[in-house]
Structures are given as C-alpha cells and as structure tokens.
Structure 1
Amino acid sequence: MRTVLLIAALGLGVGCAKRTAKNAPPARDEGAKAQPPAASVKDKKDTTADETNLLTDLRFHKEAPADGSSIGQRPSVAPATQDERSAPAASGQPSPPVPDVAPPPRAVSRQPNPVPARPPAIAPDGGAPVRAAKIAVTTADMLEVWVFIEHRSGASGTMPTQSEIHQALTKGSSPAADRVKDGTLALTGATVRESVWAYETRARTDGGLVASQKGVETLSAAELKTRLGK
C-alpha cells in the first residue's frame, strides 16, 4: 500500500514540473547587446546648442601669434649670432671686474743738445765776416800771389784788383785761390806798388807771411800794422 502511494506521489510531482516548464517564458539572451534609447527632439536641440556655443564662445578662441605663425605651430627661433655663441653662459655668480689696462708709455726721443755756431772771423780792413781759418797759408801760396801781381803791374803799369787776382789764381788751379776763398789769405787791393799786396789773416794778431814790393817776407803784427798804416 505504501509503495503504491509513493509511486503516485512521484508521478504527480513529475507532471507538475513539466507543466511549469512549458508555461514559463523563454530565457533572455545574455549575449544580446542592449540598444540605446532613441534620442528625443529635446536632446537633439541641446546638442545643437552646445555645438553653436563652441563656435561662438570667445573662451574657445585663441589670439593669433604676433609673429604671423598659425595656432598650434611652434614659433621659429632665429639662429644664434657669433657674439651670442662666443659669449660665456650666464651663471648665478657675477663676473669679476676687468681692470683697466693703461697704454704703454710713449718713448721720448732725446734730442741732442744743439751746438752753438762759432762766430765768423772778421775780415781785415773791416770787411765782411769770413769763415775761420782751417788751413795755414804756405810760403808757396803767398809766392804765387806775389808773382801774379808783380808781372801784371810791371806789364800794364797798374795794380790788379782783388777780383782779377782771385780769378787768375782760380784759373791756374792755385791752392792760394782756396785760401783767399776761405779767408785765410787777405788781398789788400793796393793801388800802388809801395803798399802791402797780400798777407795772412792771422798776421794781424800773431804775425805771419806778407807779400809786397820786396817779395814774400814775415812780419810781426806791429810791423804789419805800421806797413798798412793802420
């Protein structure tokens, strides 16, 4: 009896389970993607308004760079000059002061002390100054002067002038011409034969050679002064 009741209960339970499974709705596919809800007309208006604000809002506008480059483009950097490349890099410490370098002293050339000029010797008879004697008059020099005056005065009967005597000595290449020129031999320009014709310049103070009618002779300063009459 118990076995029959148990079998009946099991059969009733199996039938209820089949009915429940038949009437249940089909299970939803978990892999199906959820569809987004359709946008309403109001949402579309709000989106259009936001896009308009992005175009007209000044906050989203950037001013163009002053160098003419476009927004988003990196500004061009000018290459460094030679001075900038050679300049030392700036550091936090100040550079030491550069001392002023004085220019080197200018060399001063020492000028030699000027030598005072010797005063010119005074020509005899108060004539123009002549250069100091350098070469002494020899007896041969005075003899050439005496020979020319002796022959000229004897031939013409008149005494030659100083210019004529000097020209004749120069033409004959006589050293006496140089002695007359440098003032060591003085021509008196006598107009008579009895006078002194020529003498050494130093004879006026120290005595020396003298040419006259008597020939070439040596006189003292006092004798020469007497013969000259001065």
Structure 2
Amino acid sequence: MSDQETEQEKDGQATPEEGADAAKEADVDSLSDLAELEKIKAELQKEKEKAAKELEEGEEDEEDLREVDYLQKLLGLSIKFEHHVGMWLMTAYIDCGIKYDHRLAESYMTQLSTIQSFLRLLEKVDGVTRELVTKDCVLKLRNVVQMIYKNQVKPLYKEVSLMKKKPKSESLEHFKENWNERLEDLQKACDFEYQVLDVKGFILK
C-alpha cells in the first residue's frame, strides 16, 4: 500500500480522541434531553387533562387530527432510524471488517429513544406546549441524524470507497436504501414545520 493510500485511510478514520469526544458530547445531549423530558411532564399533564376533557365533549377538530397524524409519522421515523443504526449499520461495519463504536451508537439510540418518549407524551396533549415541543423534536431528530451521518455513516462509506476489493455486504446496501428513504420522509416532515430545514445533504450517493 502506498504512503498516499495510507494517509487516505488515516483521514477516513476517527481518532480515539475524536471518538471519545463525540461519545461524550452525545452522552451530555442524552442527559440534557432526559432532564428536559422530566421538566415538561408537569406542563404536558395539565394539557393532557384538558385535551381529554375536550375529547369527551366532542371538541376535537380536524387540526388536532392532523397534528396527531404528524406526531405519529415523526415517531415512526425516529423508530426506523434507531433500527437502521442498530441493525443495518452495525452489521455493515462488521461485514466490512471495520471497528464499530458501540458506545457512540448506543448514545445516539438513547437520544432517539428520548425523542420517541417526547412524541408519545404529545400524542394526547393539546395546546401551545405540544406545538413547541413538536418543533423541538423535529430539530432534535434532525440533529441526531446529522451526528450519526457525520460520525458513523460518512466514515464507513469513505473507508469502503478506499478499499481496493469492495466487500460484499447486503447490510451495506440495505442500510443505504433505507437511510435514503427515511431521509426523504424526514425532509417532508421538516418541510411541514420548517421551510429551510434541509436534510438532503445526508443522502448517500
């Protein structure tokens, strides 16, 4: 292997320090999200009771139904991203003979699980809190996906591109296909709430 190829491979790999920093940053984000989740539970409980009363009185309107449908779509997206990372991405790393950072992946999946907890709380809640927290969930989901792409997806595909003999991995193909499909769905969700929030830059070519 030439010196140039060796340097290219080094460039494609995160150093232990970078990996530790990414994991530490993700852990801090997870703890922050969990603390925030506990903080808003009281507010959500009040609005949940109000929504339940309105539902009994038949006051649920079409807008509420659309919002609940949107929440369910976001919840489904979050669950699918978590599955793709824990299932296809991990297997792709193994198939390609590249070390998989379980701690980093686990921290991202914890963040996705926290987002799911927020969304489940919001399904039967109405009012300003639901709207604000829903927007925050969209941002958090987009940010987690961005970090997964930056620290796990992009390095993997860069390493594979440098290999002279390409590995035969169905998981690699499955991940790419599903990842891109979920990003298209997430882009639609972002367009619903944010006109300028772009996730197309994370699509794998």
**TM-score of the two chains, using structure 2 as the length reference:** 0.20
Q: Which one scores higher on RCO, CA 8 angstroms, separation ≥ 6?
A: 2
Larger Rg, first or second structure (1 or 2)? 1
**TM-score of the two chains, using structure 1 as the length reference:** 0.18
Q: Higher strand fraction: Structure 1 or Structure 2? A: 1
Q: Higher helix fraction: Structure 1 or Structure 2? A: 2
